[in-house]
A and B are shown apart, each in its own frame.
Chain A
Amino acid sequence: MKFRERCLVLAIGVVSLLVVGCGGGQDALEEGGGGSGGFVVGSANFPEQLILGNMYADVVEDQGIEVDRRLNLGTRDVVFPSLESGEITLVPEYNGALLSYLSKGESDVTSPEETTKLLKEELPEGLIALEASEAQDKDALVVTQETAEKYDLKNTSDLAPVAEELIVGGPPEMSERPDGLPGLKRVYGIEFEEFKALDAGGPLTTEALENGDIDVGRFFSSQGLIDARGWIVLEDDKELSPAQNIIPIIRKQDNKGKIEDALNDLSATLTTEDLKKLNRRVEVDKEDPEEVARGYLKQKGLLK
């Protein structure tokens, strides 16, 4: 008995050491040879990012390069450092948000062109930004079909004369942030009847807009549910909110001309309307992002 027990303990000990020695100390990201020459496409952890990540991966693979897909990694705080360190090669980003992240919120440009320009200056050594798409996922004000018809609303500036009859809902910080209520007043002359602190394009704001507790809601311009509920995104015609164009960020040394061209073609084709429809299929209809991405590329003739 004693001899057998000791053998068992010894065996467990040896196996544990083997497991620790082989597996321990390695980042989950490093497995599969990310930093050692393979092409890795990463993305953040929400549906739109999964769609974009798959699209980028498909487009690169189509050029004959083997791609390792590491999607759904986490927030920018996880994804971007991995890009900097070389564990990831390519990510889909948003020019405004990334600029804000890199400049620690110090920038105050809002137009797509200026934002992309400043972003290119702020990018660390080893990373480059390809061409920005016209497709954006930016802060937006959304109204129902009925409200839009009743007050004849198409752009945010159309809200100015009627805002005092309307209740707006959005994330708590909207009441203080420069591109929130203060900005709406300063740039558009909009003063709402009341502000309700809910969430940014989340279930609270969605339900509140649906059942009329609010008339205008703060959402993101490419959210799938906007399309699904037939709501209207008001155009930010005076460019109060920072631009958030989709833009590929890629590591310098891995740049081969044909990859760049292929990604730029994709960026040139993609529109906010397209994004909305794709997001709807994934967010609302629960389709697979990889299939939705490939379907779009095929439909637009972006694959060979």
Chain B
Amino acid sequence: MFEVTTSLIEWFADPINWQGPNGIPTRVLEHIYYSVLAIVLAVAIAQPVGILIGHTGRGGALAINLTNAARAVPTFGVILLTFLVAGIGLAPVLVALVVLAIPSMVTNTYAGFRAVDRDVRDSAVGMGMTGWQVIRRVEIPVAMPLIMAGVRISAVQIVATATFAAVVSLGGLGRYIIDGLAQQDLPEVLAGAILVAALSLLTELGLSRLQRVVVSSGLQEESEEASMETRLEGTTG
């Protein structure tokens, strides 16, 4: 146990591991690149869906059930399947990560919208707002805590799972884990795992910060409780 810790510290102290195509900076940047691409794509697909079903209140059951089914899909399987069709490249990784990320965002955005007080929505309509205006000026701001919670959960899942890119010969922090396992180099595997965990934590913290900025101050207190509930629901659902 102790030798592993020393080897691990040696691994991080070794300057070779900080330079070149297999160095930590390169791998971290690649990892962030895949993650950002995936999250942007996932947001572009999931949020409109969530907003639509949230605003209209229709199709919720169908959408939720579909996305829950998507949670059961093994990411590894999707990567391999997409690889068989599309070959080596970003496609297998992105498809798998996006499929992974969509459920949380659809569910949370939908829940956020449904939780908007009836009265608030009615007053907005009463004031003469169009559907779009209600969405933009009332529902989204009010639902923001839950929307952001969904984005955070998805983002962290994506960062943690982007390690799979290494399976289809791409880069990222998964490279340390896959190569380390193949070469039976335990310190390298552990280093990779630690780096991924650290990056996931940073993602969570960063997005929490963002949430504090984006959610209106009147809703700040509620937001922590609400996102807690949804997160718990999400894991048992």
| B182 close to A198 (CB less than 8 A) | no
| A197 close to B84 (CB less than 8 A) | no
Q: Contacts A197-B169, A198-B169 known; A171 to B87 CB distance under 8 Å?
A: no
| B87 close to A211 (CB less than 8 A) | yes
What residues of A have a CB within 8 angstroms of the CB of B80 in the complex?
A: 203-204
What residues of B have a CB within 8 angstroms of the CB of A207 in the complex?
A: 83-84, 87
The answer to whether A193 has its CB under 8 Å from any CB of chain B is no
| B179 close to A173 (CB less than 8 A) | yes
User: With contacts defined as CB atoms under 8 Å apart, how many contacts are there between chain A and chain B in the complex?
Assistant: 42
CA distance A197 to B87 in the complex (A): 14
CA distance A169 to B168 in the complex (A): 10
| B183 close to A172 (CB less than 8 A) | yes
Q: Which of B152-183 contact A (CB under 8 A)?
A: 166-169, 175, 178-179, 181-183
Interface size on B, residues (CB 8 A): 15
Q: Contacts A196-B88, A213-B88 known; A171 to B182 CB distance under 8 Å?
A: yes
B73-103 vs A: 1/0 string, CB under 8 Å? Answer: 0000000100110011000000000000000
Q: Contacts A173-B183, A197-B169 known; A208 to B88 CB distance under 8 Å?
A: yes
| A213 close to B87 (CB less than 8 A) | yes
| B183 close to A197 (CB less than 8 A) | no
CA distance A204 to B168 in the complex (A): 7
Q: Which 6 A-B pairs have the closest CB atoms?
A: A172-B182, A196-B169, A173-B182, A213-B88, A172-B179, A173-B183
CA distance A54 to B183 in the complex (A): 34
Q: Which of A175, A176, A198 contacts B168 (CB 8 A)?
A: A198
Chain A: number of interface residues, binned into ranges: 10 to 19
Determine which residue in B83, B182, B183 has the highest number of CB atoms from chain A within 10 A of its CB, and name it. Answer: B182
Q: Is the interface of A mostly helix, strand, loop or mixed?
A: mixed
Instruction: Pull 27 A–B residue pairs with CB atoms less than 8 Å apart, ordered by A.
Output: A171-B182, A172-B166, A172-B178, A172-B179, A172-B182, A172-B183, A173-B179, A173-B182, A173-B183, A176-B179, A176-B183, A197-B175, A197-B179, A197-B182, A198-B168, A203-B80, A203-B84, A204-B83, A204-B168, A207-B83, A208-B87, A208-B88, A208-B169, A211-B87, A213-B87, A213-B88, A214-B88
Min Cβ gap B92→A in Å is 10
What residues of B have a CB within 8 angstroms of the CB of A198 in the complex?
A: 168-169
B178-196 vs A: 1/0 string, CB under 8 Å? Answer: 1101110000000000000
Min Cβ gap B192→A in Å is 12
What residues of B have a CB within 8 angstroms of the CB of A197 in the complex?
A: 166, 169, 175, 178-179, 182
CA distance A198 to B87 in the complex (A): 12
With A169-B169, A196-B169 given, can you name 19 additional A-B contacts, CB distance below 8 Å?
A171-B182, A172-B178, A172-B183, A173-B179, A173-B183, A175-B179, A176-B179, A177-B183, A196-B88, A197-B175, A198-B168, A203-B80, A203-B84, A204-B167, A207-B83, A207-B84, A208-B87, A213-B88, A214-B88
CA distance A203 to B167 in the complex (A): 12
